[in-house]
Amino acid sequence: MIDLLIKNAKTIDGKRIEIAVQSGKIHEVGATMTYDAADVSEELDLGGDSYISAGWIDGHVHCFEKMDLYYDYPDKVGIDSGVTTVIDAGTTGAENVGEFHDLAKAAKTNVFALLNISKWGIVEQDELADLSKIQRDLIEEALAKYGDFIIGFKARMSKTVIGDNGIIPLEMAKDIQAQHFKELPLMVHIGSAPPVLEETLSLLTAGDIVTHCFNGKDNGILDRSRGQIKAFAWEHYRRGLVFDIGHGTASFDFDVTETAFSEGMKAHMISTDIYSRNRLDGPVFNFPTTLAKLHVVGYSWSEIIEKVTLVPAEVFKLEGKGQLVAGYDADVTIFDRVESTQTLVDSQGNERQANEWLQPVKAIVGGKQYDINL
């Protein structure tokens, strides 16, 4: 028995596609499919108007509701904006990830976590100012207990976080990763110096993630005096570091993004760094708004969809996600392409005009349908 048959949909490239779902998995994918009515529990006919992709993945959010600084609710930043999987980027550490894990299980959205190397996560802005909070044994215990939930690590390397410790927290994070968890990526938040960006990037290895990659800070990748991307940033980009948008309240700059784009440097992954404040008050608001900003810069819709499905699934090793393939999880985002004008604002208040954006209308998670009224 087919639980759900999605008819008359199209991919972002305009190709017709139909999908059969069974027991929470994609059973079959094809241009057209025919089943006897008696063999289908429910049919969803999109009439050839709406688009469909693998479920959108936001690889940088903050959605542990019990925190004070950066917090939100998984479904508020997830299925409410067409996102079927969210990855909380270091809100919690080894001491409180268990409570987050238990709460996240109740969400409709798929939730995973990057473990903050500081044991309590971001309970205070300077969580890496005290090196005693980085405890290898606690990290090992958390990974042993919540290995299905924790899919990587997070270290925030900017002056408001590290105190007087310079590059030491990152060295400790890389040592823990190398000794025990080589298969798990490390996401590094970059911001104002210290430490200087070149020193931070030099410690990372291929597959590690540089989030806030196009921020407008002096310690970022843009040499404003020359109007071009710094040579060392190109070097590390080319050797396999994953550049992630991580928009956030203060970490996305149109000028930097456009300069990088003009030189051929594109973010590998698109994420929001969304939490309650920048969701309600901006400049993030929601996932589709961030996608529209990359489209205004010049990214095609096809590559944008890839950077929020296939790429994060590969970066974070999310088996069964990121593609519309038989045997994969039945996580699907259904959306329309809307042609209208809206003003988009980056983290510095710079504005651009968008003439088109993607409007999610339905999220399907493990075969279950959720309507969206964004």
pLDDT in tens, 65-97: 999 999 999 999 999 999 999 999 999 999 999
Give the pLDDT band (50/70/90) at residue 14: very high
Distance CA 366, CA 55 (A): 10
Residues 27 and 152 in one domain: no
Summarize pLDDT for 23-46 with one digit per residue, the tens: 999 999 999 999 999 999 999 999
The answer to whether the beta carbons of residues 205 and 173 sit under 8 Å apart is: no
Strands 351-365, 332-345: pairing is antiparallel
Over residues 152-160, the mean pLDDT reads 97
218 domain-assigned: yes
Residues 193 and 225 in one domain: yes
Confidence at residue 242, expressed as pLDDT on a 0 to 100 scale: 98
Residues 296 and 331 in one domain: no
Residues 349 and 276 in one domain: no
Residues 70 and 125 in one domain: yes
Is the pLDDT at 181 greater than 90? The verdict is no
Confidence at residue 179, expressed as pLDDT on a 0 to 100 scale: 85
Give the pLDDT band (50/70/90) at residue 374: confident
Summarize pLDDT for 235-244 with one digit per residue, the tens: 999 999 999 9
Confidence at residue 17, expressed as pLDDT on a 0 to 100 scale: 98
Last residue of a domain, one of 315, 337, 361: 315
CATH code of the domain containing 300: 3.20.20.140
- pTM for the model stands at 0.98
Cβ neighbours of residue 140 under 8 Å, at least 6 residues apart? 180
Summarize pLDDT for 208-232 with one digit per residue, the tens: 999 999 999 999 999 999 999 999 9
Summarize pLDDT for 117-144 with one digit per residue, the tens: 999 999 999 999 999 999 999 999 999 9
Is the pLDDT at 180 greater than 80? The verdict is no
Residues 71 and 45 in one domain: no
Last residue of a domain, one of 289, 315, 341: 315
366 domain-assigned: yes
CATH code of the domain containing 29: 2.30.40.10
- The kind and range of the H/E element at 190 are strand 186-190
**What is the total residue count of the chain?**
374
User: Average pLDDT, whole number, for the chain?
Assistant: 97
**Domain tally, the chain:** 2
Residues 131 and 29 in one domain: no
| Strands annotated E in 256-372 | 332-345, 351-365, 368-371
Last residue of a domain, one of 286, 315, 344: 315
Residues 109 and 216 in one domain: yes
Q: Which domain holds residue 35?
A: 4-53+325-371
Is the pLDDT at 259 greater than 80? The verdict is yes
Phi/psi zone of residue 240: left (φ > 0), alpha (ψ -120 to 50 degrees), beta?
Answer: left
Summarize pLDDT for 298-354 with one digit per residue, the tens: 999 999 999 999 999 999 999 999 999 999 999 999 999 999 999 999 999 999 999
Distance CA 107, CA 86 (A): 11
320 domain-assigned: no
CA dihedral (263, 266, 271, 275) in degrees, to 10, reads -10
70 domain-assigned: yes
Residues 207 and 261 in one domain: yes
Residues 288 and 338 in one domain: no
Cβ neighbours of residue 225 under 8 Å, at least 6 residues apart? none
Residues 29 and 97 in one domain: no
Residues 360 and 289 in one domain: no
CA 115 vs. chain centroid, Å, equals 15
Distance CA 371, CA 374 (A): 10
